[in-house]
A and B are shown apart, each in its own frame.
Chain A
């Protein structure tokens, strides 16, 4: 099956700093999503981004499908940005079925 690699696995930032999280995937994908898992375990959808660039406030994401990677940028980080960021790719698994495959995540800790 498809492999999804995220880097770095852990990241500690001072509040106000910027960061870039990376997601590499091993095969063509139908779509890609970025999620933030908050301390309560909820998966919050950040971006649905099969290609191109999108921005939402301090967050932006870029996917270069032809080179099989996606980047998530966090600017002016805040303590509430802490949590685990997951990249997930949507692929056709046969018999008319699609499924999301998740990476292992990047654990972000923003300290005051």
Chain B
């Protein structure tokens, strides 16, 4: 079964550093998403991406965050200057579109120290 692949699985970074989380969505999917889950809490929407541009973003997705699909296969989330409260599990997801389900990657656990 096709998978969404995320790297790295774990990342520890110092406060103020930039991090890039990487995702390879399923190849024939058109819609891409980032979600995050702070430890012990529910999964929250960050941003959706379609046709090489952001479709929608949540209040969490402020100017410190950016997404990119640099080469037609990778989908990245960049956090420019990490804060302690950015520590969370970040999930990438992709979908073929409306009336299809979402497939989630295994997540990147980001710890900001």
Q: Chain A residues in contact with chain B, CB under 8 A?
A: 30-31, 33, 35, 40-43, 45, 48, 50, 86, 88, 90, 93-105
Query: Chain A contacts of B106 at CB under 8 A?
Result: 40-42
Measured CB to CB, the closest approach of chain A to B47, in angstroms, equals: 9
Q: Which of A30, A99, A102, A104 has the most CB of B within 10 A?
A: A99
Contact A33 B45 (CB under 8 A): no
Contact A41 B48 (CB under 8 A): no
Contact B101 A31 (CB under 8 A): yes
Contact B42 A104 (CB under 8 A): yes
Confirm or deny: B43 has a beta carbon within 8 angstroms of a beta carbon on chain A.
yes
Closest 6 CB pairs of A and B: A48-B101, A97-B55, A97-B56, A102-B43, A43-B104, A104-B42
Q: Which of B41, B50, B98, B102 has the most CB of A within 10 A?
A: B102
**How far is it, in angstroms, between the C-alpha of A94 and the C-alpha of B55 when the chains are bound?**
9
Query: Chain B contacts of A45 at CB under 8 A?
Result: 101-104
The closest CB in chain A to the CB of B43 belongs to A102
Contact A33 B102 (CB under 8 A): yes
Can you identify 30 A-B contacts, CB atoms within 8 angstroms? A30-B98, A31-B101, A33-B101, A35-B104, A41-B89, A41-B109, A42-B104, A43-B91, A43-B104, A43-B107, A45-B101, A45-B102, A45-B103, A50-B99, A88-B102, A96-B50, A96-B55, A97-B48, A97-B50, A97-B55, A97-B56, A98-B31, A98-B98, A100-B33, A100-B45, A100-B93, A100-B102, A102-B42, A103-B42, A104-B42
The closest CB in chain B to the CB of A107 belongs to B40
**How far is it, in angstroms, between the C-alpha of A109 and the C-alpha of B53 when the chains are bound?**
41
Query: Chain A contacts of B91 at CB under 8 A?
Result: 43
| B window 23-70: CB within 8 A of A | 31, 33, 35, 37, 41-45, 48, 50, 55-56
Measured CB to CB, the closest approach of chain A to B95, in angstroms, equals: 8
Q: Known contacts A33-B101, A90-B102, A103-B42: does B109 contact A95 (CB below 8 Å)?
A: no
